[in-house]
């Protein structure tokens, strides 16, 4: 049994419908189903036996609820099924140096930002690393794992070198550092090398920035030491947890 609305308002028991002049809208009480059809196509179908709902004859919702934290996924053949929550895709930035960074200062204890200016990978929804400022900007509030490795060469016999993870976050300590590593090469020759490594989990608010700074604890200028640009030797990574 079906009702065809040809024109104007029609009342059939508790069913009221009003069609356009084309008369192409149908409610069809078929065998074990109820259809809503427009322009010759079934747009909405309810199964009489299990109550499953189908849209556009393209996909059918399950008739029963899923388990806690399950989500609906398609099987690619017209059925939506309950499945476990898929793992979140990794959001990570991996940056490195396009060339060696020679550390040249003009003042005592001067900070310089390590110029990580080449992005190897940035899987955040919008680009999170700026190669002009050499800074990572947190796209959203959350916890982030921040890691850096620097291959330091040609160190001079000075008081101290420092590598810092620096940030604009409100709780960053002196000089904006949220973690730092101190190294004193007093007993090393000028051709000595050292690998600086830092890792920190930090809470960042949206728009907080993070970068890597490097300085010499020394009176006056310092020249000659450098950070090697090898991708496997010097790199900066940020991963959202």
**Token reading at 111:** 């900070």
Domain limits, the chain: 2-83, 92-240
Q: Is 150 exposed, middle or buried (0-12, 13-18, 19+ CB in 10 A)?
A: buried
How high is the pLDDT of residue 21?
A: 61
Task: Please say whether the beta carbons of 146 and 235 come within 8 A.
Answer: no
| The residue to which tokens 């509030």 are assigned | 141
Provide the pLDDT confidence category of residue 4 given band limits of 50, 70 and 90. low
Query: Alpha-carbon distance 164 to 137, whole Å?
Result: 17
Q: What confidence tens digit (pLDDT) does each residue in 101-129 have? A: 988 877 778 888 999 999 999 999 888 99
| Per-residue model confidence as pLDDT tens digits over 29-39 | 777 888 888 88
Beta strand 33-38 pairing with 25-30: antiparallel
Residues 174-201: tens digit of each pLDDT: 778 888 877 766 555 555 778 889 999 9
Fold held by 92-240: Jelly Rolls (2.60.120)
């Amino acid at each position: 049994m079906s009702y065809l609305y040809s024109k104007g308002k029609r009342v059939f028991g508790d069913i009221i419908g009003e069609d356009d002049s084309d008369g192409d809208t149908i409610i069809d009480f078929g065998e074990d189903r109820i259809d809503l059809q427009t322009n010759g196509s079934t747009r909405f179908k309810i199964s009489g036996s299990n109550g499953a709902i189908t849209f556009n004859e393209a996909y059918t919702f399950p008739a029963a609820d899923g388990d806690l934290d399950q989500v609906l996924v398609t099987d690619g053949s017209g059925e939506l099924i309950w499945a476990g929550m898929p793992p979140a895709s990794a959001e990570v930035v991996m940056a490195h140096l396009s060339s060696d960074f020679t550390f040249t200062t003009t003042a005592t204890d001067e900070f310089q930002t390590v110029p990580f200016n080449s992005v190897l990978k940035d899987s955040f929804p919008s680009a999170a690393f700026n190669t002009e400022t050499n800074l990572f900007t947190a796209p959203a509030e959350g916890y982030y794992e921040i890691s850096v490795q620097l291959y330091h060469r040609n160190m001079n016999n000075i008081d101290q070198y420092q590598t810092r993870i620096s940030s604009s976050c409100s709780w960053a300590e002196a000089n904006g550092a949220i973690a730092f590593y101190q190294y004193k090469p007093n007993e090393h020759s000028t051709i000595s090398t050292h690998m600086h490594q830092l890792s920190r989990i930090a809470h960042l608010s949206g728009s907080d920035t993070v970068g890597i700074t490097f300085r010499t604890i020394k009176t006056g200028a310092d020249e000659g030491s450098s950070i090697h640009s090898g991708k496997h030797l010097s790199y900066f990574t940020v991963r959202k947890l």
